[in-house]
Amino acid sequence: MTMTSVVDSEDLYLWHEGTQYQCYHFLGSHLEERSGQRGVHFAVWAPNAKQVNVTGSFNGWDGSGHPMSRQEGVWTLFIPELTEGTLYKYEVITEQGDCYLKSDPMAFHSELRPGTASIVTSLEGYEWEDEDWQANKSNQLQQQPLLIYEVHLGSWKRKEDGGFYTYVELADELIDYVRYRGYTHIEIMPLGEHPLDASWGYQVTGYFSVTSRFGSPKDFMYFVDRCHQQGIGVIMDWVPAHFCKDEHGLARFDGTPLYEYADIQKSENLTWGTSVFDFGKPEVLSFLITNALFWMDVYHVDGLRVDAVSSLLTLNFDERKEVRITNEYGGDENLEGIAFLQKLNAVVFARYPNALMIAEDSSSFPGVTSPVANGGLGFNYKWDLGYTWRTLEYEKKSEEERSAGEDQITQSLLNIWDEQFILPFSHDEMANESKSLLGKMSGKDAWQRFANLRVLYMFTMGHPGKKLTFMGNEFGQMDDWNWDDSLEWQLLDYEEHQQFAHFVTQMNHFYKSKPALWKQDYKPLGFEWIGTDDQSDGIVTFYRKTGDEENEQLVIVCNFKSVAQEGYRLGISMPGRYREIFNSDNSEFGGSGVGNASELNTEEWFCQNRPNSMVVNMPPLAAVIFEYIPSKG
């Protein structure tokens, strides 16, 4: 026996208007009681279907006995006696008489691949214990330290038999590791259900279904809860730009282009082999913005790194397109994609003012982190991919080549106020045979390569902007990242990797302890060039300051050459006493041990356009940080 079921008319009105931001409450499958009977209510949007039936393990995968009723393009049905764990799909019959078996776009859980069925699942009943974390979250994010550890859960660590660690097991191992190493946040590569491991999660079929590779929805709740209890924030990569074409997914869901554009020039990303969401369709906006909020509402995720933003900003992002298209004004801008991003951020911040909304954007589009009210996209952070590309290209060069290209390492310091940047060394820099970060470093031997990576990390730490590092880089992964295997944990059996991991750990904790390194990341008063008289000597120097009553001032000196410089004269703005407080060349980090042991005093000696200066020892391929010592009394 089945029962007719209806959806609230106000919910449907908002859904069709593009302003229904909690549609997962009425679409999908929900355990309910109707007329005294327990069962499951099903609802799915398929406006162009001739008929939709529910099929599953309970009816031998024959949906003919469970037809759904249509209500304003949404098909509904209540089936008594079904319980949690029931496998199901929608049997979508098109106007042409074709029949498709589709997974539920709003399913909360899905079969482990290669299975593709949706699973009736309740998200109720988990008892959260992250009240302190939630109460102490601040919307003054720009004035807080942010050290992000980017993780692919399937390859951070594998079991001896090659199997995955579960969310619960990762909660015991990964969180403690991240906290010990000094990171503030974990960023997890996409967790929406996806059929192909090799896509890394970036080609999604189940936007509301946390992947079953690592456990159940409540297992993932436990993971996030434990992160928060240990003081670690959680960011998730989110993929609103495109979706995969697998037959059971969103593509041509009701026999027509429903979630994707109908215009073939706009509906496909040929490079990625995916379908592009129709950002001009109100129901798609409701679907996507609801999904963004869903991960925060249900799983307490602290923010989203929005993938492939640049593909949403232009109509001609796909390089394989043979015909260029324009908008209604004759321009290249994707007006619907831009409007979607603005709406997304406005809605998210209205509900979660302390959310992290991070744009992974390789374009030069202006105002990515400017408020929507000012015409910007409304993100609060943007990945500075230009910084990543330029610094790594510089680090690949021999020392002779570096002399003519020092602007590659310093150029980013000229436009640091353009956006609120995160400086990322992400999975993209370690995948597809591009070599690991350590593998990219130039050097005559292993010592120089490790030293080069240490000075790059220190320069990045001192550079304005928040920080992100992909897993494995913290201990000097040697090979490219392999998504189908564990990280090279065996490297920690070797002294040079132990020392490098110790360096990263100490650097991270040092960074968090010094407000001058993060409090004014996005204000000019937090940074001051010192510069050099010689633009080819490989030495880059600058101040980081709190710019407040604390008056914390740090002098950061980076030597990108392998020759130590004893007696290097450094121009100083504020005369007085200074002391060395961090040195990447310390012997405990695997360095040569060149440093400055005692307090240093400035002299009235004009240098680097400053009336005062002091003499320091600069280690080879290293960075040194000096701290100003306020006068007593």
| Active site residues per annotation | 307, 360
Can you spell out the DSSP letters for 446-466? HHHHHHHHHHHHHHHHHSSSE
Contact 302, 235 (CB under 8 A): yes
Task: Please report where in the chains the tokens 């970060």 appear, as a residue.
Answer: 437
| Cβ 625 vs Cβ 554: under 8 Å | yes
Nearest of 117, 188, 180 to residue 149 by alpha carbon: 188
Residue corresponding to tokens 């869901």: 253
Hey, what's the torsion of the CAs at 12, 261, 382, 295, to 10 degrees? Answer: 40
**Alpha-carbon distance 418 to 406, whole Å?**
21
Question: In whole angstroms, what separates CA 615 from the centre of its chain?
Answer: 42
Whether the Cβ atoms of residue 204 and residue 239 lie closer than 8 Å to each other:
yes
Q: How far apart are CA 313 and CA 281, in angstroms?
A: 17
Do residues 197 and 483 touch, judged by C-beta distance below 8 A? yes
Nearest residue to 530 via CA among 518, 517, 544: 544
Task: Please name every residue paired with 603 in a beta bridge, in sequence order, or none if there are none.
Answer: 613
- Helix 446-462 with 495-513: angle, nearest 10 deg: 10
Question: Dihedral (C-alpha) 158, 163, 168, 174: value to the nearest 10 degrees?
Answer: 10
Alpha helix (H) ranges present in 397-494? 399-402, 407-410, 437-440, 446-462
Q: Do residues 626 and 613 make contact, with C-beta atoms less than 8 angstroms apart? A: no
Distance CA 187, CA 471 (A): 10
- CA neighbor of 73 nearest in space, from 287, 292, 297, 339: 287
Give the CA diameter of the chain.
93
